[in-house]
Chain A
Amino acid sequence: MKKLYYFLFTAVIVLLIVFVFFQAPLGNTFILTGRLQRVFALVLVSASVAYATLVFQTIANNKILTPSLMGYEHLFVLLQVLLLILFGGNSIFFQSKVLSFLLSTAVMILYSFVLYFGLFRKNKKQIYYTLLIGLVLGIFFNTSTQCLHMTIDPNEFSYVQNAMFASIGRISLETIALAFMLMVLVFAYLMRYVKMLDILSLGRSYALGLGVDFDKIVKRQLLGISILVSISTALIGPITFVGIFVSGITYRISKTEKHQVNLIIAFAFCMILMLSAQFLIEHIFNYKHTLSVLINLLGGLYFLILILKLLRK
């Protein structure tokens, strides 16, 4: 296990160094700060993806699901379009990145509240059900956004088109700092229960038998997860499938069910994945594809392979 830690740790460090310093003149602060910003964003997103997916899978008792399926990215874009229609392209929401980040995170967290607490009142194994509702809501947001797009004046639309889709290329330092503070708070709140997670994976009745208040902890974890997913969506856009891939590989290489181990491995692996994908995009694909497309494709293919494997059993 220690060897694995060392290996992952060195891999992350090496990748970090390569990512930051590759083909960059040392004196050029512009390039370096830009890259450092992106690295920080990727660190934050990786941490949230790793935690959110692993714990969500434990709660759902299913290793091919992920919380980011529940329509967050579509809600994000819908929100931007609504802001554009209501306040116009010159409004403060499109000028200040911090404000738009805060607003969209707040709306997404509110959405998660409604989704979970509107539906979880009866507490009866409704997580799949919530997931399906989230998925359908996502499609609903998506088509409504398309409808609204048609009604927008094309000039105004092209003016804000860039600001509408979250992407790693346009992150500002303030946004990262804000996201960082939010995430520290959330993690501080969630980490109190990290030892209970292993018990949660035993199932509700065992957990109750061992004296763990299953429902309470699940609720709190889901809340935290939704905040994490909202933040990462607001930071770099849709990363639907990456969680499945990361958790699948993590369970494969760690060969243990302990969350404290798995969370670290998943975080490191997610970092490696994101950094190398972003590196490929910047230096090989020349920005032709976006990070989310590349990573989602990888995760999606993994998902399909998983299902095919399940079939063969």
Chain B
Amino acid sequence: MIQISKVYPNHAYRRVLALSLLVLCLLVISLVSLTVGVESITWSGLFNRSSQGVELLFISRIPRTVTLIVTGAGLSISGVILQHLAHNKFISPTTSGTLDAAKLGILCGLLFFPEAALLTKLMCAVLFCFGLTAIFTFSISHLVKRNTILIPVFGVMSGYTLNALTNLLGVQFNIIQNIEGWMVGNFAKSVKGQYEIIYILIPLFVICYLYAYKFTIVGLGRDFTMNIGVNYRVIVNVGLMLTSVMVSTTVLAVGSIPFIDLVIPNIVSMIHGDNIRRNLPFTACYGAIILLICDVVGRLIIFPYEMPSSMIVGSLGALVFLIMLIKKGR
């Protein structure tokens, strides 16, 4: 399953070329994302220093684009890490109940510390994510090791349960009306003063990159990891913690965005193989680009209103995942 040598070993320049192309793509789409919106921004207007355009750019468009890029990258990276930790291509925050655990955590944060700052809620969410993902995905995966299909089934089921719990608590204490509408991933609210929490992810990217080799090793199996002298348990916990923080932060900042964390790592692994460290920049770029495209489409599709990008990502991602599943079954 793990193919490290699939990347052309001695053609580092090719990778650099591909990566720079991707980054170029990302830049172009970011520029598009900056200009698309109800209030049109013209470049000439910016150069003429018309204050309204500049203000709009700094209050809404730039925060939104930055959030999109960071969220897309962060979710894809957490997906790839979780996939390796669980030795299962079908595991990701979406299919292991992590997203729902984060929602439950945030709800509990609202419930117990209603006055508290954003950071407390983040702590709650991280705690729930870490604990529940650790129990319901990783412990289960030891039980049904040989059945790769059953683990995501259990993950999604536990996610459903957590959702029902969140719904009941929310309705009982008059916090939410309807779980479907709550926490739908929507980037319209990432404006200046609201979006800054997403910057937490950037130092985490660096940590992920530093640990990337170890995650690859853990992905090769427990015994192998122990044999070459890497502490399996510590690495798994570090990985889980990193993904928990990343997922919780994105849920808190923009809401839950399903399936991007599942589909992007699989696509990257099909194209570039399974060496996490080499692929991490690719994963991040693909994630950011896809999310940006979906958000731009969402802004245009029922213009001048907008459709939350999580819905577009969710439908498309589920479709891609289905195709992958059916292909595997054939």
Give the contacts of A295-313 with B (CB-CB under 8 A): 296-297, 300-301, 303-304, 307-308, 310-311
Residues of B within 8 A of A300 (CB): 160-161, 164-165
- B169 nearest in chain A by CB position: A297
- Residue A264 interfacial (CB < 8 Å): no
Binary CB contact string for chain B from 145 to 157 against chain A (1 if under 8 A, 0 otherwise): 0010110111011
**4 closest A-B pairs by CB:** A300-B161, A143-B314, A140-B318, A128-B149
- Residue B136 interfacial (CB < 8 Å): yes
Q: Are A143 and B322 in contact (CB under 8 A)?
A: no
Partner of A128, one of B150, B156, B171, B259: B150
Docked pose: A296 CA to B162 CA in angstroms? 10
Q: Are A310 and B143 in contact (CB under 8 A)?
A: yes
Give the contacts of B137-194 with A (CB-CB under 8 A): 139-140, 143, 147, 149-150, 152-154, 156-158, 160-161, 164-165, 167-168, 171-172, 180, 184
Residues of B within 8 A of A143 (CB): 258, 310-311, 314-315, 318
Residues of A within 8 A of B321 (CB): 136
Q: Are A132 and B90 in contact (CB under 8 A)?
A: yes
- Residue A133 interfacial (CB < 8 Å): yes
- Residue A249 interfacial (CB < 8 Å): no
Give the contacts of A259-313 with B (CB-CB under 8 A): 288-289, 293-294, 296-297, 300-301, 303-304, 307-308, 310-311
- Residue A147 interfacial (CB < 8 Å): yes
Q: Add 6 more A-B contacts to A136-B322, A140-B315, A147-B307 (CB < 8 A).
A: A119-B326, A128-B150, A139-B259, A293-B167, A296-B164, A307-B136
Question: Nearest Cβ distance between residue A307 and chain B, in whole angstroms?
Answer: 6
Question: Nearest Cβ distance between residue B43 and chain A, in whole angstroms?
Answer: 31
- Residue A102 interfacial (CB < 8 Å): no
- Residue B8 interfacial (CB < 8 Å): no
- Residue B305 interfacial (CB < 8 Å): yes
Question: Nearest Cβ distance between residue B29 and chain A, in whole angstroms?
Answer: 21
- Count of B residues near A, CB < 8 Å? 43
Docked pose: A240 CA to B258 CA in angstroms? 21
Residues of B within 8 A of A132 (CB): 90, 149, 152-153, 325
Partner of A150, one of B136, B165, B168, B305: B305
Q: Are B307 and A135 in contact (CB under 8 A)?
A: no
Residues of B within 8 A of A304 (CB): 136, 158, 161
Give the contacts of B98-157 with A (CB-CB under 8 A): 135-136, 139-140, 143, 147, 149-150, 152-154, 156-157
- Residue B319 interfacial (CB < 8 Å): yes
Question: Nearest Cβ distance between residue A22 and chain B, in whole angstroms?
Answer: 24
Given A150-B302, A310-B143, A297-B329 contact (CB < 8 Å): no
Docked pose: A142 CA to B156 CA in angstroms? 14
Docked pose: A253 CA to B295 CA in angstroms? 53
Given A128-B147, A304-B158, A133-B322 contact (CB < 8 Å): yes
- Residue A131 interfacial (CB < 8 Å): yes
Q: Are A69 and B157 in contact (CB under 8 A)?
A: yes
Cross-chain pair count, CB within 8 angstroms: 117
Residues on A facing B (Cβ under 8 Å)? 62, 64-65, 69, 119, 126, 128-129, 131-133, 135-137, 139-140, 142-144, 146-147, 150-151, 240-241, 288-289, 293-294, 296-297, 300-301, 303-304, 307-308, 310-311
Q: Are A301 and B161 in contact (CB under 8 A)?
A: yes
Question: Nearest Cβ distance between residue B299 and chain A, in whole angstroms?
Answer: 12
Binary CB contact string for chain B from 46 to 89 against chain A (1 if under 8 A, 0 otherwise): 00000000000000000000000000000000000000000000
Q: Are B164 and A137 in contact (CB under 8 A)?
A: no
- Residue B312 interfacial (CB < 8 Å): yes
Q: Are A135 and B153 in contact (CB under 8 A)?
A: yes
Given A128-B147, A135-B156, A136-B325, A151-B184 contact (CB < 8 Å): no
Partner of A129, one of B149, B161, B172, B184: B149
Docked pose: A69 CA to B150 CA in angstroms? 13
Docked pose: A146 CA to B318 CA in angstroms? 14
Residues of B within 8 A of A64 (CB): 154
Docked pose: A129 CA to B321 CA in angstroms? 13
- 16 contacts across the A-B interface (CB closer than 8 A): A69-B160, A129-B149, A133-B326, A133-B329, A135-B152, A136-B318, A137-B322, A139-B156, A139-B258, A140-B318, A143-B318, A144-B315, A150-B311, A293-B167, A300-B160, A311-B140
Docked pose: A233 CA to B322 CA in angstroms? 23
Residues of A within 8 A of B325 (CB): 129, 132-133, 136
Of the candidates B147, B156, B310, B326, the one having the most CB atoms from chain A within 10 angstroms of its own CB is B156
Residues of B within 8 A of A119 (CB): 326, 329
Docked pose: A300 CA to B167 CA in angstroms? 13
Residues of B within 8 A of A144 (CB): 311, 315
Q: Are B139 and A311 in contact (CB under 8 A)?
A: yes
Docked pose: A144 CA to B302 CA in angstroms? 15
Residues of B within 8 A of A294 (CB): 168
Given A132-B152, A140-B322, A241-B311 contact (CB < 8 Å): no
Partner of A293, one of B168, B180, B314, B322: B168
Partner of A146, one of B136, B161, B184, B326: B184
Question: Nearest Cβ distance between residue B242 and chain A, in whole angstroms?
Answer: 24
Docked pose: A139 CA to B310 CA in angstroms? 12
Q: Are B307 and A150 in contact (CB under 8 A)?
A: yes
Residues of B within 8 A of A136 (CB): 318, 321-322, 325
Docked pose: A175 CA to B157 CA in angstroms? 30
Q: Are A241 and B153 in contact (CB under 8 A)?
A: no
Residues of A within 8 A of B154 (CB): 64, 307
Question: Nearest Cβ distance between residue B319 and chain A, in whole angstroms?
Answer: 6
Residues of B within 8 A of A311 (CB): 135, 139-140, 143
- A294 nearest in chain B by CB position: B168
